[in-house]
Structure 1
Amino acid sequence: MNTNWLSFIFLLFLTTVYSQNEGNENNSVSVPETRIKNGDNINISEANYYVVVLCGGRGGGTLVRRNKVITAAHCVDETCTRNDVRVVVGLNALSNLSNGETYRAASIRIHPKYEKPAQGVSPYDIAVITLSEEVVLNDRVGLINYAFNVPPIGAYLTVVGYGRISLDGVRPERLQRTQLRIIESPGTQIITEVQSSSILKGDSGGPAIYNNRLAGVVTGYTIQNGILETNIFVAVGHNAILTFIQTNVP
């Protein structure tokens, strides 16, 4: 990625506010109203590998084994410990977040080269959460395997999440899905263009699918003069990322 771009790069993990009435470990979580820009409403059964990751904020993740979730490192770094993490599976509407099927984390593994940058995104922004127990699989909760190669330039990624519809937008009630075209893949990252659709705040850690495999993890986007320019993903199939995943997801 060209470091001379005059762009601001935003991390996408949202800060949530916990209160006695609107969110704690036993009640609902209050989250900003956000979703994927120009995404389509889908039922969770169409992307049943998608999970919501809660840890001082709300992000996404991908269920790749019955007890393994791949997400972005910035969703679970800093003061977030395994005791703080909650993973919600099978969620078909954000209004049901407090009643969703929730699992605790047994461990969190962050890529050893990950460092939270003062500005921008890390090329090693990836983590694996091991759940304290295996999930129960059904039509709303399923698995998807990860990719072993980086998709080619020009290919389309299918992205799922509960992120914003615009920079100051409102959240959807339903899960969103869109497709984004790859324009470059520098190092451990995949870059997609922004046309009518884009990832936005709240999509962090979520899946980017290619050929029915997890090919990318949402990490950030670039914006210049208030205009979205590109979307950024960690390339799961890049050797430096794949080796880390295979070590932690046998």
Structure 2
Amino acid sequence: MARTLHRLITALAAAVAAVGLLTVAPANADVTPYIVGGTRASVSEYPWTVYLASSSGGQFCGGTLVKGNKVVTAAHCTVNRSAASTRVVWGREDKQSSAGIVASVTNIWVHPSYRTATSGYDVSVLTLDRNITSAYLPLASSADTALYAAGTSTTILGWGTTSSGGSASRYLLKANVPVVADTSCRQSYPQYNSSAMVCAGYPRGGTDTCQGDSGGPIVAGGKLIGATSWGRGCAQAGYPGVYARIATYHSELTAQINA
């Protein structure tokens, strides 16, 4: 019961993108994310927001630049993908433009304990073939408990679909959603694991990540607190978005980032 489609389906993504249909589902069919209820965002304001694309150019997930040559994304976006078939696009707000940089990927690290997004460990680090000169986003750590407190305002970003099963956005979108209490999230999702995940959204729904936003950032306090992971549908009342809790994986991610 993840975001409906998981946000990828590697092979399908490339094929679909090739014919101009931008809805992309992930490798494991239990997640979904795009920004629903969002507004246009500027890459100059969020310069560390990137998207993942196939070698043919089709966007299938999001990510966050955390060092000149390192991107954090979701494991379900990259598991079973080859580095050679993956690109990272930086500085391109409009997917139909040629702005920014298209970097090749030289290495993909997937958390070794990852099995499915709903089981946790949904984090991955990509190494790029170059250093991108840009501001990058620091990771939340175990000291940042306040950033995970219920009610904390966060920003979600992505190029995903703007409705469940709808079309992907041409432009980078953003929205603000509050962190949801772990107890409330567990009522929505019995498999929710508060040590591995964090929920964000409104009780009434209406604003959320959706298909294609997978792996993209959820930000609070100037730090990356989560990577878009899974959820039931998109923006449904009573079913907030679920994100990989970056603080839990801080040491493992940092080791990969500094490798």
Normalized per residue, the structure richer in helix is 2
- Shift in Å at residue 171 of structure 1? 3.1
CA pair 13-152 structure 1, distance change in 2 beyond 3 A: same
| TM-score, L = length of structure 1 | 0.81
Q: What are the Cα deviations for residues 75-114 of structure 1, in whole angstroms up to 9, with x where unaligned?
A: 1112x11111100100110212x66521111211111111
TM-score relative to the length of structure 2: 0.78
Runs of at least 5 residues in structure 1 that lack an aligned partner in the other structure: 1-6
AA matched with 1:188: A
Shift of 1:227: 5.8
Which of 1, 7, 14 pairs up with 1:12? 7
Cα 1:145/1:168, change in 2 over 3 Å: same
Unaligned runs of 5+ in 2: 25-32, 183-193
Residue 64 of structure 2 corresponds to: 62
Q: What amino acid maps onto 2:251 in structure 1?
A: T
1:208 matches 2:218:
yes
What is the DSSP-based 3-state SS (H/G/I as helix, E as strand, rest coil) of the residue aligned with 1:17?
Answer: helix
Cα deviation per residue 1:35-57 (whole Å; 9 max; x = unaligned)?
41110112111111001112486
Q: Counterpart of 2:22?
A: 31
Residue number in structure 2 paired with 1:147: 140
Change (3 A) 1:69 1:29: farther
Instruction: For 2:159 and 2:63, locate their aligned partners in 1 and report how far apart those are by CA, in whole Å.
Output: 11
Which residue does 1:102 correspond to in 2?
Answer: 102
Which 4+ runs in 1 deviate beyond 3 A?
none
* Cα separation, 1, equivalents of 2:14 and 2:3: 23
SS of residue matched to 1:46: coil
The offset of 1:167, in angstroms, is: 1.3
- Give the 3-state SS of the residue equivalent to 1:135 in structure 2: coil
Equivalent-residue separation in structure 1 for 2:172 and 2:217 (angstroms): 13
Q: Distance between the aligned counterparts of 2:155 and 2:21, measured in 1? A: 27
Q: Which residue of 2 aligns with 1:84?
A: 85
RMSD of aligned C-alpha atoms? 2.6
Q: Percent identity?
A: 23
- Alpha-carbon separation, structure 2, partners of 1:146 and 1:163: 23
Matched, 1:193 2:201: yes
Instruction: Say how many residue pairs are matched.
Output: 226
The 3 A distance-change label for structure 1 pair 94 and 85 is same
> 2:189 maps to which residue?
none
Instruction: Assess if the C-alpha contact under 8 Å between 1:17 and 1:31 holds in 2.
Output: no
| Higher percent of residues as strand | 1
Task: Verify: 1:247 aligned to 2:255, yes or no.
Answer: yes
In structure 1, what residue type is equivalent to 2:136?
L
1:179 Cα deviation after fit = 1.1
Report 1:103-182 matches (<5 A): 103-116=103-116, 121-137=118-134, 142-148=135-141, 149-150=144-145, 151-182=148-179
